[in-house]
Structure 1
Amino acid sequence: MTRTFTRFACIDWSGQAVERPKGIAVAVAEGREAPVLLDHAWSRQDVADWLIEQAAAKVDLLVGFDFSMALPFLDAGAYLPGWPDSPADARALWAAIDDLSANDPHLAAGGFVDHPDIARHFRRHGGLEGDLFGGGMGRMRLTERACREGGHGNAVSCFNLVGAAQVGKSSLTGMRMLHKLAGRVPVWPFDPVPDKGPLIVELYTSIAARAAGLGKGRSKMRDAAALALALAGWGIDAPVLARYDDHATDAIVGAAWLARAAEVPGLWHPSGLTDEVAALEGWTFGVP
C-alpha cells in the first residue's frame, strides 16, 4: 500500500463540446461505505474547481477518472511523429492541448484536433481519417495494450474520435483539465504520491465492473437491479438514484472498487510501469 486514503471518488468524464455534458457524473465513498452520487449538473470547470477545493482542504481523497491521460508515445518515439513541435513528455502534451485549444470554451479541445499537422493523426467524423492514423484500431499506449492482452477490457485508441466506444474526445478534454490542475493536484504516476491531500489516477470502469462480478458484456448498468447486483458482492446496499444511466452507475461502482483496489500494493507497482512509461504515457490504475 502506497498510503492511506479516507475518501474515494470516481468521475465519469465526457468530451462533449457543451458547457455541462450529461455524461459527467461524480460519486464519492467514505472508506468502504456505499458511494454517494453528487447531485449536480457538472461542467468540466466545476470538476476542476471541486478538486482544487479538495486540495486546499487537504482531503485524503483518491479520485479516478475514466479517460486516458496521455497519447501513445513509445510505439513511434513521439506522440505526433512528423510534427516538429511534438511534445517531449505528457506534461508538455497537456500544455500543448490547452494552448492550441485556448479559444475553445468549456475546456473543449477542438483547436488541438483541428491543427493541420495534428489532424493527420486522428480518425474523425465524416469519414475523415488522417494519413498518419495508421489504420485498424489506431495506435495504443503500453497500458492499453496490456489491458487488452491481459483480458482486463477492450481499451481503445485515443486517436479514434468516432463511434460510441471512442474515448479520444474525453481524453483530450481531460488532459486539458489536468494542465489546469498542474501544481495543485498531483496525478499518478506522473507525480510522486503525496503524503496527504488528493491524488488523481486513471481508471477503466470496465475493470471495476468485472471486479464487481459482472461478466464480459454485462458491464453497463441501466437499472436499480443491475446496480444492486454489482454492489452486492462487496456487501454494499445500492443507493437509490434519480437516474440509472451508464454515467451514474459507472461512477458509483468505480468509487466502490477504488476503495478496495487502493489497498492492493501490486496495482501501485504494475510490471510494465517504468520511469520512462510514467513520464510519457502514464498508466491505468487496475491494470497489473
Structure 2
Amino acid sequence: MGPRQEAPAHRRGNGGTPLNFTDFIAIDWSGQAVERPRGLAVARATAGTAAPVLVERNWSRQGIEDWLAALADKGTRALIGLDLSPAFPLVDQGAYFPGWDLSPPDGPALWKLVDALSADDPHLAATSFVQHPDARRHFRQMGDCGDLFPPGRGRFRVCEHGQAAMRLSPYSCFNLVGASQVGKSSLTGMRVLHRLRGKLPIWPFDPLPESGPVLVEIYTALAARAAGMRKGISKIRDAATLDAMLAALGSEPAAPLSRHDDHATDAMLSAAWLRAVAHRAELWAPKGLTPELARTEGWTFGVG
C-alpha cells in the first residue's frame, strides 16, 4: 500500500483543517450604485443556540469591507457567508470573456481586473466595468444586450447547475436586468474580494485556514429551504415566521427587530443555517468541485 495522499486543500473538511468556528456571519449584499444601499444587511450568530442578531448600522460596501478586515485583524474564527457570486462562468467556454485579450485566468485575477477598471466608480460600484466596450458584449443590461450574451437565460457556472438540480432558481451573473439579478451584486463584491485579498481567505479559491475567519459564497434561498420553507416562497417578513424558521435550524427565537424586510431576515436565517451546517465535512468537499473550479468559478457552500 502506497503512502497516504493528502486531500487537496479545497476538499478538506473535518478530516483536514479544524472547523472550530466561534462566529457565523451572513451578509446580504447589494449592487446598487449608491453609497449606502438599502439591500445591505449583516447578521451574526455565535456558537450555541442563541438567535442571530442583526448588526444594525447604516452600512456601505466600504463599511462592510472595513468591518471584515477588522475581524481578520482580531483573528476572529468566523465563517462568513456572502450572498453573491465570486466569479463568472469559465469552464463552459474556456474563458470568462471569450475573445477579450484581458480575460483573466482565475478568480483573483478577475477580482483585480474588475476593481482596476472600476477604480473611478464611487462607493465600490462597478458601472465602468460593465460599460467597458469589450466587457459589455457579454452582459445583458437594461436596453443593451451584448452580442455575446447567448440566447435564453445566459451562461451558468457549474455550481449554478448544481443549484438548479436542487430545485433552486439561479440567475446568470451576466444578466444585469430584473429584481432577481445577481450580476451587479457579484461585480461590486468582486471589488471587495480583491481589496481583502491576502487578509481574508475565500473558499474554495484559498485553502481553509487553521485560524481566523474565512469567506464562503452562500445562496440565501438554500438556507430558507433547509429551514422548511417550500419552493416558491423564500422571503420572511414577520417575526413569527422568522422564529419558526430559526427553530427548524436549532436556534432560539430572535429578539425584536426594527425591521422584517427581506434583507434583514435573509441574513439572520442564513447566519443560523451556517452555524447548523458548518460542521458537515461533505459540504467542504462537494463531489463536483474540481481543482480547476476551485481557482476559477468557485462554489456555493451547501450545494452538493
Relative to the length of structure 1, the TM-score reads 0.98
What is the aligned partner in structure 2 of residue 12 from structure 1? 28
Note the C-alpha offset of 1:232: 2.2
1:13-33 alpha-carbon deviations (Å, 9 max, x no partner): 000000010100000001132
Q: What code does the residue aligned with 1:86 have?
A: S
Please show how residues 38-187 of structure 1 align to structure 2 within 5 Å: 38-126=55-143, 128-151=144-167, 153-187=168-202
163-172 vs 233-242, which moves further: 233-242
TM-align CA RMSD: 0.9
Q: What secondary structure does 2:33 align onto?
A: coil
1:207-235 alpha-carbon deviations (Å, 9 max, x no partner): 00011111111210011122122112224
Q: What secondary structure does 1:52 align onto?
A: helix
Q: What CA distance in whole angstroms lies between the structure 2 residues aligned with 1:227 and 1:239? A: 11
Q: What secondary structure does 2:138 align onto?
A: coil
Identical pairs, percent? 57
Q: What code does the residue aligned with 2:131 have?
A: D
Structure 1 spans left out of the alignment, 5+ residues? none
1:216 correspondence with 2:234? no
Q: What CA distance in whole angstroms lies between the structure 2 residues aligned with 1:95 and 1:222? A: 37
What is the aligned partner in structure 2 of residue 269 from structure 1? 285
Structure 2 spans left out of the alignment, 5+ residues? 1-13
Q: What secondary structure does 2:134 align onto?
A: helix
Would you say how many aligned residue pairs link Structure 1 and Structure 2? 286
Instruction: Kindly indicate whether the alpha-carbon contact (under 8 Å) linking 2:27 and 2:267 is maintained by their aligned counterparts in 1.
Output: yes
Q: What CA distance in whole angstroms lies between the structure 1 residues aligned with 2:214 and 2:45? A: 15
Q: What secondary structure does 1:251 align onto?
A: helix
Q: What CA distance in whole angstroms lies between the structure 1 residues aligned with 2:247 and 2:21? A: 23
Q: What CA distance in whole angstroms lies between the structure 2 residues aligned with 1:10 and 1:64? A: 5
Instruction: Kindly indicate whether the alpha-carbon contact (under 8 Å) linking 2:51 and 2:251 is maintained by their aligned counterparts in 1.
Output: no
Please show how residues 16-31 of structure 1 align to structure 2 within 5 Å: 16-31=32-47
